Amino acid sequence: MTSSAQLSVASIQMVSSPSWEDNLSSATQQISAAKSAGANLIALPEYFCLMGHSDQDKVKICEQFGDGPIQDALKNLAIKYQVYLVAGTIPLASTDKNKVRNSTLVFSPSGEVISRYDKIHLFGFKQGDENYQESNTIEPGTTPTSFTITHQNTEWNIGLSICYDMRFPELYRAIGVVDCHVIPAAFTYTTGKAHWEILLRARAIENQCYVLASAQGGKHNNGRRTWGQSMLVNPWGEIESELKDGEGFVIGHLKKELIHEIRTKLPALQHRTL
């Protein structure tokens, strides 16, 4: 490994619909474009496969882990485009038949699932006509998760979290020291306008690592409006690339040299006492 090692990453932004088939088609187009732009690791947003008309819609299409058309399609996409695919979130079966796990699966270029993270913190928000209670249909996960890949003889440690998780900095301490946190999300427009950017930049600054956020961004068929602003933030908290709204992707590079430089001149991670 050299200090000049880089990893090209992309986050895809979508405006998903109630049709998982249509959403997979849209995701495929964006994955193809991001790969053509040079990405080696590509992240999809939370709920990329379905933004249903009701919370129960995701329960209806849930799959057993390792078996189902959505997972098969994702596996084939990772193989076809030879990328590490952080597959947003998909609904996987839980211990409660009326709920799902909101799960991120990571596929290697060989199609193998090399990591799984089940969303731990479940979003709840009430304001006027807006009322979201993920706990009604989602069973929370319990395990902080990261994974390691090797690209051009260099190891990259990647942390996984999902949307509302970013409000809980203790989770990121539990995950440990990583090169990048990948965060699929579907922030509401209201909460996104207020907190999205500042939370992402804070997580990058305090963990002295990159943050790659892949978001839903627009007006959905079900009437919901999501914030968007998918972005890559560097370990100094600077936004290196972003997409405000609409479908598309952002691309950039993780640089070992920058991570090392920041952690050397300001060794905050070594100064922790708790």
Q: What's the CA angle centered on 22, arms 18 and 24, to 5 degrees?
A: 105
User: Looking at 35, 58, 99, 119, which residue is catalytic?
Assistant: 119
CA–CA separation, 246 vs 215, rounded Å?
10
105 Cβ contact partners less than 8 Å away, ≥ 6 residues apart: 71, 74, 87, 90, 113, 115, 116
User: Looking at 49, 163, 180, 209, which residue is catalytic?
Assistant: 163
**How is 13-55 classified by DSSP, letter by letter?**
EB---S-HHHHHHHHHHHHHHHHHTT-SEEEPPTTTT---SST
Q: Is 49 a catalytic residue?
A: no
CA–CA separation, 203 vs 207, rounded Å?
6
CA–CA separation, 219 vs 235, rounded Å?
31
The answer to whether 39 and 8 have CB atoms below 8 angstroms apart is yes
User: Looking at 46, 63, 242, 247, which residue is catalytic?
Assistant: 46
Q: Is 163 a catalytic residue?
A: yes
CA–CA separation, 231 vs 108, rounded Å?
22
Q: Is 126 a catalytic residue?
A: no
Return the sign of the alpha-carbon dihedral for residues 29, 63, 54, 160.
negative
Cβ atoms within 10 Å, residue 265:
7
CA distances from 37 to 82, 165, 252 (A): 13, 30, 10
| Cα–Cα nearest to 6, from 179, 215, 201, 206 | 179
Residues identified as active-site: 46, 119, 163
